[in-house]
Amino acid sequence: MSTQPSRIHSVPGPDDIFRKTLPNGIVLLVRSNFNSASVVISGYLAVGSQFDPPEKLGLAHYTSRGLMRGTARSSFQEIFDRLESAGASFGYGASVHTTSFGGRALAEDLPLLFSTLAESLIEPVFPADQVNRLKSQMLTSLAIRGQSTQDVAAIEFDSLLFPNHPYGRPEDGYIETINAISRNDLVNFHRDHYFPNGMTMVVVGAVHPQQVFDLTDRYFSHWQKPAPPAEPQHAAIKPLERAVVKHIVVPGKSQSDLVMGTLGPKRKAPEYLAASLGNSILGQFGLMGRIGDSVREKAGLAYYASTSLNAWKESGSWEVSAGINPDNVKRATALITSELRRFTSELVSEEELTDNQNNYIGRMPLSLESNGGVANSILNLERFDLGLDYLQRYPSLIRAVTREQVLEAARLHIDPDKLAIVSAGPDGKVK
C-alpha cells in the first residue's frame, strides 16, 4: 500500500489508515490529519494484570506506572522536563490484558514522543526512591478507594461475577498485595513480560505515514526478544446459577451504593451491538433511560441510576448502578429487578430503538473530531479485529439492529432471577 496520505475523510477507513508490521512484531497504524498541528500516539502491549501473582495483585499496574520514573539514560526529572518544555504529555496504564500508553505533542515533537516511549519501554531502571514514592501514592489511593461505597460495591460485584478470574480482581490490587511488591518484582516483571511482539501503536495527526514508519524503525527495530510467554489459563466464566445478594458495611457513610447485574457479551459477540443499543434504552444515559426514569424520577428512590455494558476480550458485564438512601435499598432493588423483567419479556418500542440508533450514529462523528478520538477508535479496530472499514460500516450496522434482536440479546444475558446484587453503605441492616 502507498504511504502517501489520501484525502482526509470524516470517517477513517482503509483508504487513509496505513498499517505496517515490523519484523519484531510491532503493529503500527497511521492516519494523517493536516487540519491540526498536533499529533497523538496511543497503543498497548500484550501484558496486564492477568499475569499478576495473586499475592502480588497490582504488579502489572505498578510496573506500568514505574516505567517513566527513570531509565538507563534519563532521570524522572529529566523525562518530565523534556515533555514539559515542549508542552507534550505521555503516560502509561494497565488493565487485565494490556499495558497501555499514550501521549500528545505538536507534530514537530513527534520524535520526542517516540524517544520517550522507546526509552521508558526498553530501558527502565525503576530507581528505588521513585519506586518507594510511587508505592506510597498507590497505597494512599487504595485507602481512599476503600472508603468509597461506589468503589467497594463495584469491586465486590466483579468478584461475584468473575470468581477465580482476572476480571474479578482490581487491576490496581489491594493494600496488602501492593505492600508485598518489591523493586525487584518490578524489574523481573518487566524483563519477563515486556515484548515487542504483541505491541500495537496508532499515530494520528499532522504527519506523513512514511515519517512515522521511519521513526518506528529508528527507535524500535533494535528491540529484539524471543516470543512472549503464553497467556495464563483462567477459570471458565460461567453465568450465576442463582441470585447472590451481599451488603458490605462502610462505616461513617450516609449513602449506600448499589451495583446489580449479570454477565454481558464479549466485544466480538454477534449480539454485541443489539445488547449495546438495548443497554442505552435501559439506562446508559441515566435519567434518559428506563431505569433512571423508574427508580429516580417516578419513585424518588435514588440519587442517580444508570446502566453500563462492559465488553472485553473474553466476556463482559451488564450492570445497573445506583446511589440510594440506605432505607431504600430493598425497594430500589425490587424496582430495578421489575424493570429487568419487563426488558427481557417484551419488545422495546419502535420509538425507543429509533431514537437510540439516531443517537449512536449522531455521536460517532463527535467521537472522531479530535486526533485522540480517532486514535482510540483505530486502536479498538485493531484490538478487537473489527476491520479497518468498521467505522464506515457502523451506521448501517446500527440501523440493521431490530427490536427482536435487542430482546434476544437481553434474554440471552439477563436472568432477573439470577443476578449479582451488591450494596455498600453505613450498616448491615439493608432496608
Predicted pLDDT at 326: 93
Segment 73-113, tens digit of pLDDT: 999 999 999 999 999 999 999 999 999 999 999 999 999 99
Report the chain's terminal Cα–Cα distance, integer Å. Answer: 64
> Sign (positive/negative) of CA torsion 337, 318, 62, 165?
positive
Report domain extents, the chain. 18-220, 244-425
User: pLDDT for 258-282, tens place per residue?
Assistant: 999 999 999 999 999 999 999 999 9
pLDDT at position 9 over 80 = no
**What confidence score (pLDDT) does residue 128 get?**
97
Least confident span in 115-119, 215-219, 298-302: 298-302
For 20-45, what is each residue's pLDDT tens digit?
999 999 999 999 999 999 999 999 99
Degrees, nearest 5: CA angle 418-281-353? 125
- 387 pLDDT higher than 70: yes
Give Cβ neighbours of residue 97 (< 8 Å, ≥ 6 apart): 46, 48, 50, 312, 313
Checking if the pLDDT of 211 tops 70, the result is yes
Instruction: Note the pLDDT of residue 5.
Output: 42
* 287 pLDDT above the threshold of 90: no
Q: Which three cell numbers stand for residue 178?
A: 501492593
List CB contacts of 70: < 8 A, sequence separation 6 or more: 76, 79, 124, 125, 126, 127, 130
Phi and psi at 338, nearest 5°, equal -60, -40
The 10s digit of each residue's pLDDT in 114-152 is 999 999 999 999 999 999 999 999 999 999 999 999 999
CATH architecture of 244-425: 2-Layer Sandwich (3.30)
Length of the chain: 431
pLDDT band per the 50, 70, 90 thresholds, residue 8: very low
Q: Identify which has the larger pLDDT, 91 or 1.
A: 91
Backbone angles phi, psi at 404, to 5 degrees: -65, -35
DSSP of 265-325: --TT-TTHHHHHHHHIIIIITGGGSHHIIIIIIIT--EEEEEEEEEE-SS-EEEEEEEEE-
Helix (H, G, I), strand (E, B) or coil at 416: coil
Q: Give the pLDDT mean for 377-382.
A: 97
Give backbone dihedrals phi and psi of 361, rounded to 5 degrees, phi first: -70, -40
Pull the grid cell for residue 112.
520526542
Q: Would the pLDDT of 1 be above 60?
A: no
Equal CATH topology for 18-220 and 244-425: yes
Q: How many CB atoms lie within 10 A of CB 211?
A: 16
Mean pLDDT value of segment 333-342? 96
Helix (H, G, I), strand (E, B) or coil at 385: coil
| Percent of the chain scoring above 90 in pLDDT | 89
What pLDDT was estimated at residue 134? 98
Cell numbers of 406, please? Answer: 435487542
- DSSP H helical ranges for 27-123: 59-66, 76-85, 110-122
What's domain 18-220's superfamily in CATH?
Answer: Metalloenzyme, LuxS/M16 peptidase-like (3.30.830.10)
- Buried b / exposed e over 282-307, threshold 16 CB at 10 Å, is bbbebeebbbbbbbbeeeebbeebbb
Q: Which of 144, 167, 181 is nearest to 66 (CA)?
A: 181
Res. 185: pLDDT tops 90: yes
Between CA 422 and CA 342, with CA 344 as vertex, the angle to 5 degrees is: 85
Mean pLDDT of 292-301: 87
Q: Residue 231: pLDDT band by 50, 70, 90 thresholds?
A: confident
